[in-house]
Amino acid sequence: MESKDHHVVIVGGGFGGIRAAQYLKHAPVRVTLIDRRNFHLFQPLLYQVATGGLSPANIAAPLRAVLKHHANTRVLLGEVVGVDVTKKEVILKDGRVPYDTLILAAGSRHHYFGKDQWEELAPGLKTVEDATEIRRRVLLAFEQAERENDLEKRKALMTFVIVGGGPTGVELAGALSEIARLTMRRNFRNIDPGSANIILLEGAERILPPFPPELSAQAQKGLEKLGVNVRTRCSVTDLKPGEVIVKQNEKVETIPARTVMWAAGVAASPLGKALAQATGCELDKGGRIVTAPDLTVPGHPNIFVIGDLAHFKHGLERPLPGVAPVAMQQGRYVADLIQARLRGKSLPPFKYRDKGSMATIGRSFGVVDLGWLRFTGFFAWLTWLFVHLMYLVRFENRVLVFFQWAWNYITRGRSARLITETWEEARQQK
Amino acid sequence: MESKDHHVVIVGGGFGGIRAAQYLKHAPVRVTLIDRRNFHLFQPLLYQVATGGLSPANIAAPLRAVLKHHANTRVLLGEVVGVDVTKKEVILKDGRVPYDTLILAAGSRHHYFGKDQWEELAPGLKTVEDATEIRRRVLLAFEQAERENDLEKRKALMTFVIVGGGPTGVELAGALSEIARLTMRRNFRNIDPGSANIILLEGAERILPPFPPELSAQAQKGLEKLGVNVRTRCSVTDLKPGEVIVKQNEKVETIPARTVMWAAGVAASPLGKALAQATGCELDKGGRIVTAPDLTVPGHPNIFVIGDLAHFKHGLERPLPGVAPVAMQQGRYVADLIQARLRGKSLPPFKYRDKGSMATIGRSFGVVDLGWLRFTGFFAWLTWLFVHLMYLVRFENRVLVFFQWAWNYITRGRSARLITETWEEARQQK
């Protein structure tokens, strides 16, 4: 590789892409970061936007602001639809960008196991728009219940089903229970929001499957204390407007519920498929690109894949999970490797250092698994708070989130409880 | 009036409606507050949401949270479309609510002087959705300019026209200039955002027409220092996509501009017209209901009209303006009068105590007119800050807004710079 004017193109401004750009700040390369959104989003806290505890901007950082002191980096708002590996160009919806080295960090999206029509009925939680849509549906359900006199209908309005018992589902269920039991208290005159039925469905035999069994059990106990109805070995067989059809122990059952949220499957960005077509590289079942030990696409040493889009398994029992720490470490590794190569050197294969996982359940209970240490309860919750604050990209957001958490904790309030619409809808109403 | 079970229905949770509900807290009446939104919005700061300085939730307060300790009050999410004065019922889109006393506080909306098709081209600034739409358009214009190589097109992308030189227009122009010159500095590689052309159009002979002429002149000087192009006696004759056609001194001119914002005319809520049809009461040109000295609809002593929907002129040169202090004082007056009547008494006619007006221009300049005292500059700006913080409904919002103002002032940043879409649009993109 020649160093002068070497052009690195990063596709995606999530945890992986941002980290790669940050570690290339002083490298003798030009960097172009392309994202279809103008901000980096801290997805692990998205469920708090969906439940009115935080505002979208509190967990977002404008990409241009984050990278403004990177003299070698430009940000491009654009949608990448493919890669031309022969010409070494990234194909945008409206143009092309040439690259010398390409880092694909396009992330993942929800996956409805082939039932795409379910998305309308059960929004997932990946984007700011997903979060405000869930917030709208949840708040509107309580409003409609307050005005509904038919008891059956009212019950369906006050039943909230969350599909998927991973960290997102567990955290969403805990936050919903808090809203209903604490925040909404005394807010209504005809309904008791505390009587809302929050159901968490998990197909596997326990929630938080990647955690050790005893932590899963503790988390389930924690949720049940909050009144959440946890149902394991229970899978969704169909969704209809106002109804969730589930199967548990071979028994099929219909749950009348007006609000359903999806926290189950994820699939890689469609860019994985586009790259496979261009390079003939291998995809896993989830559409992720199977990478070489140095995170390159086999046969294409100048194309890296990181984060949720990468399937990395070398020497591991299972491929690395699609979580922020994996993406961040991969972003840094790739940035380091590019710089090593420019100096005519190389690096040993990528190695993930697992620092542990954690989840929070409601307002003062958490589970933490550091591998060498496992703990649950209040201190685990504090650890969760601290780590999440630390990883927010901007100092301003740390202060804003901290203040709102403290405020919400003390007052049990959640002030970002806005039912908003699209501009077009709002105009129609006038 | 009998006191037991006397039912007061308030339509609208703006400054007037909220204040009326608050002063009825301990009255021997049942209160129902109906709004089509679930939150009270502090509209005077909406321009800061439109320019990415604050999040919508920072200037909104959930109505149920504000009124949760009012044991006699319930909140109803619903859209009022008319009044049945014979049956004494408020007509909702989906139902009816009987009243003994009715307070109409439905506010106003934008008015395009009969050219409703202009709204699509030039959003106003009345709702949260308006603000996030303007934010989206402004930020997107800079993004597109960064990618545009045609210099003419780039110039049109970096031209921002604000129609209307009242407080909203002036404050929006100042904030836009700040974003372009300070916040966006070093954010782009191909454009200099500081070269953006921000044009403020005012049809009258000076901006801030309700202020004394010397303050208008100071405000204009302040805006010009910020690089805003202020054009008075200049009116819009037509709007087309990408073009604003104006007339100034009999000269017609076309300004190529991709982003146009509307801060000109307001018209009362259509509920005014509906009430006029039901009662035969008089409407002014702006669709406002001409009220009796006690804010009732003439001939209907149990129907009050307050805030932007009311035309109140008794003994005044001009009718009272559509500003928050007028609505708040009227809300309180009506609440007091209802209670006086329940005790078999009455009150002297409503009298507005004008405490003054103020506006802010950019990051450290304001104009304040207290009637007996007028001042401009840094101290006027501080006064503006203080008064606006004071009138935010919730303490939490005061702290959040204060912190973000301080932060933005010091860093010149604005972190709520998100380009968001509708949920449907975001889904299509995946």
pLDDT digits (tens, 9 = 90+) for B287-313: 999 999 999 999 999 999 999 999 999
Nearest CA-CA distance, residue B283 and chain A, Å:
19
User: Does B158 map to a domain?
Assistant: yes
Residues A133 and A102 in one domain: no
SS3 A9: strand
User: Does B405 map to a domain?
Assistant: no
Pairing type for strands B357-361 and B365-369 reads antiparallel
Nearest CA-CA distance, residue B347 and chain A, Å:
32
Cross-chain Cβ contact A411/B396 below 8 Å: yes
SS3 B76: strand
Residues A202 and A225 in one domain: yes
Interface test with B, best of A93, A96, A273, A417 (most B CBs within 10 A): A417
User: Does A350 map to a domain?
Assistant: no
Residues B119 and B210 in one domain: yes
Q: Which of A312, A342, A372 is the last residue of a domain?
A: A342
The CA-to-CA distance between both ends of chain A, in Å, stands at: 60
Rounded CA Rg of chain A: 22
Instruction: Give B3's pLDDT tier (boundaries 50, 70, 90).
Output: low
Percent share of chain A, pLDDT over 90 = 87
Q: Which DSSP helix (H) or strand (E) runs through B409?
A: helix B395-411
- Spell out which residues of chain B touch residue A61, defining contact as CB-CB under 8 Å: 415
B415 has a pLDDT exceeding 90: no
Q: What is the mean pLDDT of residues A123-142?
A: 95
* pTM, rounded to two decimals: 0.93
User: Does A139 map to a domain?
Assistant: yes
Cross-chain Cβ contact B400/A400 below 8 Å: yes
Query: Residue A80: phi, psi to the nearest 5?
Result: -85, 130
Condensed to tens digits (0 to 9), the pLDDT of residues A263-301 reads: 998 899 999 999 999 999 999 999 999 999 999 999 999
B1 has a pLDDT exceeding 70: no
Q: What is the mean pLDDT of residues B305-330?
A: 95
Instruction: Give B425's pLDDT tier (boundaries 50, 70, 90).
Output: confident
Q: What value of ipTM does the predicted structure carry?
A: 0.90
Q: What is the mean pLDDT of residues A339-352?
A: 97
Q: How far is A25 from A2, CA to CA, in rounded Å?
A: 18
- Spell out which residues of chain A touch residue B417, defining contact as CB-CB under 8 Å: 38-39, 57, 62, 65
Condensed to tens digits (0 to 9), the pLDDT of residues A24-40 reads: 999 999 999 999 999 99
B7 has a pLDDT exceeding 60: yes
Q: How far is A42 from A62, CA to CA, in rounded Å?
A: 11
Nearest CA-CA distance, residue A25 and chain B, Å:
15
Which ranges of A4-111 would DSSP assign to H, the alpha helix?
Answer: 15-23, 46-50, 63-66
What chain B residue is nearest to A146 in terms of C-alpha separation? B76
Q: Which two tokens stand for residue B254?
A: 């076309």
Cross-chain Cβ contact B187/A61 below 8 Å: no
Pairing type for strands A6-11 and A108-111 reads unpaired
Q: Which two tokens stand for residue B125?
A: 């600034």
Q: What is the pLDDT of residue A114?
A: 86
Which range of residues forms the domain containing residue B319?
Answer: 6-36+78-107+269-342
Instruction: Give B4's pLDDT tier (boundaries 50, 70, 90).
Output: low
Q: What is the pLDDT of residue A424?
A: 76
A130 has a pLDDT exceeding 90: yes
Residues B224 and B98 in one domain: no
Q: How far is A18 from A24, CA to CA, in rounded Å?
A: 10
B348 has a pLDDT exceeding 90: yes
Q: How far is B119 from B266, CA to CA, in rounded Å?
A: 12
Q: How far is A247 from A229, CA to CA, in rounded Å?
A: 15
Q: What is the mean pLDDT of residues B88-94?
A: 96
Helices (H) and strands (E) in chain B, counts: 13, 25
Residues A231 and A160 in one domain: yes
DSSP assignment letter at B283: B
Q: What is the mean pLDDT of residues A324-341?
A: 97
Residues B190 and B282 in one domain: no
The CA-to-CA distance between both ends of chain B, in Å, stands at: 60
Interface test with B, best of A36, A427, A429 (most B CBs within 10 A): A427
B266 has a pLDDT exceeding 70: yes
Rounded CA Rg of chain B: 22
User: Does B394 map to a domain?
Assistant: no
Interface test with B, best of A150, A187, A273 (most B CBs within 10 A): A187
Q: What is the pLDDT of residue B416?
A: 85
Interface test with A, best of B35, B70, B77, B409 (most A CBs within 10 A): B77
A430 has a pLDDT exceeding 90: no
Q: What is the mean pLDDT of residues B357-378?
A: 93
Cross-chain Cβ contact B129/A425 below 8 Å: yes
CA angle A209, A212, A218 (to 5 degrees): 90
A429 has a pLDDT exceeding 70: no
Cross-chain Cβ contact B415/A397 below 8 Å: yes
- Spell out which residues of chain B touch residue A78, defining contact as CB-CB under 8 Å: 147
Do residues B333 and B347 lie in contact, with contact meaning Cβ atoms separated by under 8 Å?
yes
The identity of residue B7, as a single letter, is H
Q: What is the mean pLDDT of residues A313-337?
A: 95
User: Does B19 map to a domain?
Assistant: yes
Neighbouring residues of A94: CB distance < 8 A, sequence distance ≥ 6: A78
Cross-chain Cβ contact A61/B109 below 8 Å: no
Q: How far is A248 from A234, CA to CA, in rounded Å?
A: 4
We report the CATH number of the domain holding residue B129 as 3.50.50.100
Q: How far is A325 from A391, CA to CA, in rounded Å?
A: 10
- How does the average pLDDT of chain A come out, rounded? 94
CA angle A318, A324, A325 (to 5 degrees): 70
Nearest CA-CA distance, residue B299 and chain A, Å:
28
Q: What is the pLDDT of residue A413?
A: 85
Q: What is the pLDDT of residue A3?
A: 52
Nearest CA-CA distance, residue B205 and chain A, Å:
31
Condensed to tens digits (0 to 9), the pLDDT of residues A385-396 reads: 999 999 988 888
Query: Residue A28: phi, psi to the nearest 5?
Result: -80, 60
User: Does A351 map to a domain?
Assistant: no
Q: Which residue in B2, B129, B143, B171 is the catalytic one?
A: B171
- Which of A130-144, A413-427, B369-383 comes out lowest in average pLDDT? A413-427
Nearest CA-CA distance, residue A289 and chain B, Å:
18
What chain A residue is nearest to B426 in terms of C-alpha separation? A129
Strand order in the sheet with B73-77: B73-77, B29-35, B6-11, B101-104, B300-305, B296-297
CA distances, A48 to each of A170, A340, B61 (Å): 12, 40, 17
Residues B235 and B310 in one domain: no
Q: How far is B39 from B185, CA to CA, in rounded Å?
A: 35
- Spell out which residues of chain A touch residue B147, defining contact as CB-CB under 8 Å: 76-78, 95
Q: What is the pLDDT of residue B88?
A: 98
Q: How far is B126 from A31, CA to CA, in rounded Å?
A: 41
Q: Which two tokens stand for residue B311?
A: 């035309």
Interface test with A, best of B63, B64, B110 (most A CBs within 10 A): B64
User: Does B324 map to a domain?
Assistant: yes
Do residues A333 and A296 lie in contact, with contact meaning Cβ atoms separated by under 8 Å?
no
B428 has a pLDDT exceeding 80: no
A425 has a pLDDT exceeding 90: no
B241 has a pLDDT exceeding 70: yes
Q: How far is A217 from A369, CA to CA, in rounded Å?
A: 13
Q: What is the mean pLDDT of residues A409-414?
A: 86
Condensed to tens digits (0 to 9), the pLDDT of residues B214-231 reads: 999 999 999 999 999 999
**Beta-sheet strands, E only, within A124-250:** 159-163, 197-201, 229-231, 234-240, 243-248
Do residues A125 and A266 lie in contact, with contact meaning Cβ atoms separated by under 8 Å?
no
Among B418, B75, B57, CA closest to A146:
B75
Q: Which of A38, A186, A417 sits opposite B139 (nearest CB)?
A: A38
Q: How far is A107 from A287, CA to CA, in rounded Å?
A: 11
Cross-chain Cβ contact A423/B132 below 8 Å: yes
Q: Which of B79, B123, B417 sits opposite A62 (nearest CB)?
A: B417
Q: Which two tokens stand for residue A209?
A: 């499957």
Residues A65 and A179 in one domain: no
Condensed to tens digits (0 to 9), the pLDDT of residues B128-187 reads: 999 999 999 999 999 999 999 999 999 999 999 999 999 999 999 999 999 999 999 899
Neighbouring residues of B222: CB distance < 8 A, sequence distance ≥ 6: B174, B361, B362, B365, B367, B376
Residues B82 and B171 in one domain: no
Residues A138 and A283 in one domain: no
Q: Which of A189, A413, A422 sits opposite B422 (nearest CB)?
A: A422
- Spell out which residues of chain B touch residue A13, defining contact as CB-CB under 8 Å: none
Q: What is the mean pLDDT of residues A192-198?
A: 96
Q: Which of B236, B264, B292 is the last residue of a domain?
A: B264
The catalytic site residues of A sit at 171
What chain B residue is nearest to A185 in terms of C-alpha separation? B68
Cross-chain Cβ contact A36/B109 below 8 Å: no
Q: Which two tokens stand for residue B194?
A: 């500081």
B113 has a pLDDT exceeding 90: no
Cross-chain Cβ contact A430/B109 below 8 Å: yes
- Spell out which residues of chain B touch residue A129, defining contact as CB-CB under 8 Å: 420-423, 425-427
Cross-chain Cβ contact A129/B78 below 8 Å: no
Residues A136 and A177 in one domain: yes
B212 has a pLDDT exceeding 60: yes
Q: What is the pLDDT of residue B265?
A: 83
Q: What is the pLDDT of residue A4?
A: 57
Q: How far is A296 from A277, CA to CA, in rounded Å?
A: 16
Cross-chain Cβ contact B429/A79 below 8 Å: yes
Q: What is the mean pLDDT of residues A141-154?
A: 96
Q: Which two tokens stand for residue B133?
A: 């739409």
Percent share of chain B, pLDDT over 90 = 87
Cross-chain Cβ contact A127/B426 below 8 Å: yes
B254 has a pLDDT exceeding 60: yes
Angle between helices A378-391 and A395-411 (to 10 degrees): 150
Among B265, B232, B247, B274, CA closest to B115:
B265
What chain A residue is nearest to B413 in terms of C-alpha separation? A65
Q: Which of B283, B314, B342 is the last residue of a domain?
A: B342
Angle between helices B15-23 and B324-342 (to 10 degrees): 30
Q: Which residues pair with A103 in a beta bridge?
A: A10, A304
Nearest CA-CA distance, residue A40 and chain B, Å:
10
Among A229, A146, A233, A158, CA closest to A191:
A146
Residues A325 and A375 in one domain: no
Q: What is the mean pLDDT of residues B36-40?
A: 95
CA angle B257, B263, B268 (to 5 degrees): 140
Q: What is the mean pLDDT of residues B234-253?
A: 96
The identity of residue A107, as a single letter, is G
Q: What is the pLDDT of residue B53?
A: 93
We report the CATH number of the domain holding residue A81 as 3.50.50.60
Number of domains in chain B: 2
